[in-house]
Amino acid sequence: MNQPLSAVTFPDDGCELRIIDQTRLPGALVELALTTLPEMVDAIQSLRVRGAPALGVAGAVGLAVLAERAAIEGPATFDADMATAATALRSARPTAVNLAWAVDRVLAAGQVGGASPTVRATAMRTEASTILNDDIAMCARIGVSGATLLRSGMTVLTHCNAGALATAGIGTALAPIYTLHARGETIRVYANETRPLLQGARLTAWELDRAGVPVTLITDGMAASVMRSGVIDAVLVGADRIAANGDVANKIGTYGVAVLARHHGIPFYVLAPRSTLDPHTPHGDGMEIEMREASEVRAMGGVATAPGHVTVHNPAFDVTPAALVTAIVTDSGVFHPPYHFTA
């Protein structure tokens, strides 16, 4: 029996941020211990840790680790060090709202008037631990709520990875699948490979197979044909940011899947924590979309797949209009349109 995955962990001594290096999957399950700001920023930007909830937890724990070190090594510069670290972590990946949200929570926890840096660092460590534990509980609640939209024997389609590797718990979009699987009910999954970085192939297919959930891997270009065949009963995806009107930013390709689902009369469900809701962004047009390196598209596994000089357009995310979203599931329950999320 495989042990449950823990994509992000915080050892009791508070001296390091531990993550599964997701760039090594599915070939090897490797855990990294991060202790410095450059290591943490690089891990986030290089997708060693990814998925909106996991990024939030990693940012929170990372800042708490840096606070512990700063309190010992440079108490006189504690405030400046924390401001620098928070800015660097927030900006490492701008689209996922959870990252900035969690970093700001931990930074605010350290604003204890008149307290020593050591006391403030302890408060930040406590807040980071709370965020991690809340994420685990959040995933479980999404699993229970999302399971009410499914039934045993269904087959669902996923895009990218919104499972245990994207959170500190059992995931968001995959949480209902794991919940039903634990009850002994059968849910089958078709996983889009999710180009150009293949998170669906490398991560979703790997973790579902590891958990004993029936999974079939398809290329992104096969989704329309598979839907037309009638085998798909629902689509489950995560989110990196949800605007006040219900527009959803998620991994590039999600919008196309939503359009296909609407055409084929298949419900399209978005599952994400409340922290992913961004009531200060009225609609998707106001979301910053991260642009990534051309090399991710020009090559695969170090092997060139396109001319080295060809121009590449490589957004990490796209925005799915709320009108295509059947329901949004958070740890507060199931929301149906029209969506209107407030602070």
Q: Which residues are catalytic?
A: 240
Element (H, E) at 164: none
List C-alpha distances in Å: 8 to 33, 43, 162: 10, 12, 14
Q: Find how far residue 68's CA is from the centre of its chain.
A: 26
First to last CA, the chain: 42
Instruction: With CA atoms as reference, report the closest residue to 135 among 272, 314, 287.
Output: 272
Q: What's the CA gap between 251 and 237, in Å, rounded? A: 9
Cβ neighbors of 284 (< 8 A, separation 6 or more) are 243, 245, 247, 248, 249, 319, 320, 321
Q: What's the CA gap between 49 and 60, in Å, rounded? A: 13
Q: What's the CA gap between 85 and 102, in Å, rounded? A: 13
